Amino acid sequence: MAVDRYLMKQPLKKSHRSSTVEESAPAFAGRFEALLAAVPDIIMQVDVNMVYKWANQAGLDFFGADVIGKEASHYFAGEQGTYDFVKPLFAGDENVFYVESRQRRQDGETRLLAWWCRVLKDAKGGVQGAISTARDITEERKIEEQLRLQNQLFTNTIESLSHPFYVVDANDYQISMANSATAAFGILSTNTKCYALTHDRCQPCQGDEHTCPLQEVKRTKKPITLEHIHFDKYGNKRYVEIHGFPILDDENNV
């Protein structure tokens, strides 16, 4: 009888554990789905034929609710080598592949997406497809291009000047940018200080005769004009008029 009671209790105990697992699995799946839905980045899954099998909410919002079952190339904007680039991934390569691709949003607008892709394998190591996250970087690239054009305009402008022009770091007197005309005073190295280049000295200008332009700009935070004696690369004296202009940060510091 004791054995019988033991055998009868064992199924009940297993049934209780099974019930606990069954109850926790849906809860875990629910939390996982909520997590993926809350992620602002696009998350997409494709099979080995590059057909979309699953998408999080951000993916559905971008491509549309009918994205499931369509091939990834359906959304490509123009010819591109995206498939060739990720080909090793579908051959089993487990590295994360980064690729940028222009794709059509569901409203028809072309956007630039940055993709991070990784292979999906089954329990036996067979390739099942890929899981990828994507981020819309269209506006970032536009800003980068604007900055590039502004920098190019600035560079072209200072290069057109016939007199020396340079930008000096307010903290250490180091010349961070200079035009070609500055070569009249010598060759610039990575850590060239303004006073070393123009005065051939090892410390900043000082005194009434050679008031330091940088110190004056830092003191007044306004444009200044001073007269100095500089020495060119041959050691010849050059009487120069210096025009200094402050570059202020968001906290009004030079």
In a domain, 10, yes or no: no
| Statement to judge: residues 129 and 167 lie in one domain | no
| Statement to judge: residues 25 and 135 lie in one domain | yes
In a domain, 251, yes or no: no
| Statement to judge: residues 94 and 182 lie in one domain | no
CB proximity list for 78: less than 8 A, separation 6 or greater: 102
In a domain, 8, yes or no: no
Beta pairing partners, 134: 42, 115
| Statement to judge: residues 25 and 111 lie in one domain | yes
| Statement to judge: residues 195 and 126 lie in one domain | no
Q: pLDDT at position 219, please?
A: 93
Return the closest-CA partner of residue 141 out of 165, 174, 112, 179.
112
The answer to whether 178 touches 164, Cβ cutoff 8 Å, is yes
In a domain, 6, yes or no: no
| Statement to judge: residues 93 and 195 lie in one domain | no
| Statement to judge: residues 118 and 169 lie in one domain | no
| Statement to judge: residues 167 and 128 lie in one domain | no
| Statement to judge: residues 24 and 84 lie in one domain | yes
User: What range does the domain containing 35 cover?
Assistant: 19-141
In a domain, 234, yes or no: yes
141, 171, 194 - which closes a domain: 141
Task: Tell me how far apart the alpha carbons of residues 238 and 229 are, in angstroms, rounded to a whole number.
Answer: 6
141, 174, 207 - which closes a domain: 141
| Statement to judge: residues 129 and 26 lie in one domain | yes
Total number of domains constituting the chain: 2
Average pLDDT by consecutive 10-residue portion of the chain (254 residues)? 38 48 59 68 96 96 97 96 95 96 97 98 95 97 96 94 93 93 87 90 84 93 92 91 92 89
Q: pLDDT at position 190, please?
A: 80
| Statement to judge: residues 204 and 108 lie in one domain | no
Q: pLDDT at position 4, please?
A: 39
In a domain, 41, yes or no: yes
Which of 145-160 are b and which e, b meaning 16 or more Cβ less than 10 Å from the residue's Cβ? eeeeeeeeeeeeebee
pTM over 0.75: no
- The amino acid that residue 204 corresponds to is P
* Sign of CA pseudo-dihedral 182, 184, 188, 193: negative
Q: What SS3 state is found at 27?
A: helix
In a domain, 66, yes or no: yes
Q: pLDDT at position 22, please?
A: 55
| Statement to judge: residues 137 and 166 lie in one domain | no
